[in-house]
Chain A
Amino acid sequence: EDKVVQSPLSLVVHEGDTVTLNCSYEVTNFRSLLWYKQEKKAPTFLFMLTSSGIEKKSGRLSSILDKKELFSILNITATQTGDSAVYLCAVEAMSFQKLVFGTGTRLLVSP
């Protein structure tokens, strides 16, 4: 059965800290790994990763994939209170468009 595990489950940091969120996966016929940010409502897309070792970057957020060890990390530098959210990792298998989500990491950035 396809599985995505995220850690930690929750995290509290101070503004300005750097955080690393982890996502490990087991999936048949891996196609891509995606990161989403979910605040109070719907998840919003952050990154899609398909190749190992290539960092994707958007402002203070960056992510990288290791297809050999079957994991990805999401880094957030110089955190701000607006980064407080649940961060979801999802894996797409070759079985056409199906995403398997982890339960998420709840990040709280305190001022």
Chain B
Amino acid sequence: DAGVIQSPRHEVTEMGQEVTLRCKPISGHNSLFWYRQTMMRGLELLIYFNNNVPIDDSGMPEDRFSAKMPNASFSTLKIQPSEPRDSAVYFCASSPADTAYEQYFGPGTRLTVT
């Protein structure tokens, strides 16, 4: 079992550039979550999908952030334009059940915006 796969693992970009983070959930899991983790705010849920449909995007900080899940095996989180305060580790997680327990986290993407 490959687990949740995220790419890239590290991303350094300049302010104003578009950033796209990618996630492949565990096969058979029907829920997918995007989180952001910073020292100041800890781990925050940005958005989650159930059966490819966005359920709650209230954690998405601004219109600069968007997420898609075109099929059961792929999701993207896009930031356009990026800003230095977006620097964080972004985690994707998937879950096989209709509850949040046992979410399996990917390794994360460390984003640095200069």
Contact = CB atoms under 8 A, between A and B. Distances in A.
A96 B102 contact: no
A45 B96 CA distance: 14
Main secondary structure of the interface of B (DSSP, over half): strand
Given A34-B101, A43-B43, A92-B101, A97 B95 contact: yes
B71 interface: no
A76 B88 CA distance: 29
Contacts, number: 65
Interface residues of B, number: 26
Nearest to B43: A101
Contact of B103 (A45, A95, A96): A45
Interface string A74-94: 000000000000001010100
The 3 closest A-B pairs by CB, nearest first: A42-B105, A103-B42, A101-B43
Interface of A: 31-32, 34, 41-45, 48, 88, 90, 92, 95-104
